[in-house]
């Protein structure tokens, strides 16, 4: 994986949906609002969201089998070691 992009807070929760589920279970996030945002932005149904979620978690499980390194390239100097 390479690069990064600026996204809104709701889309960030979608990119880290497992964490979003944890936040919702602790009462810190309205998970349904996050799902509704995904459906609105992408023009899809709940069934299409559910299919996307299933595929995304399968991809996450596969990628989690590997050890990853973070290389921020030219942006590295802007990030402290403990946040990278």
Please state the domain extents for the chain: 9-64
pLDDT of amino acid 75: 83
SS3 73: helix
DSSP string, the chain: --------HHHHHHHTHHHHHHHHHTTS--HHHHHHHHHHHHT--HHHHHHHHHHHHHHHHHHTTS------GGGGGGS-GGG-
The pLDDT averaged over each successive group of 10 residues in the chain (84 residues) is: 82 93 97 97 97 92 89 83 58
pLDDT of amino acid 82: 63
């Amino acid at each position: 994986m390479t690069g990064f992009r600026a996204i809104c807070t709701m889309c960030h929760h979608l990119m880290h949906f497992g964490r979003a589920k944890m936040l919702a279970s602790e009462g810190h996030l309205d998970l349904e609002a996050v799902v509704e945002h995904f459906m609105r932005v992408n023009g899809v149904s709940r069934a299409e969201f559910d299919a996307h979620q299933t595929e995304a978690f399968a991809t996450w499980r596969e990628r989690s089998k590997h050890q990853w390194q973070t290389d921020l390239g030219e942006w590295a100097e802007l990030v402290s070691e403990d946040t990278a």
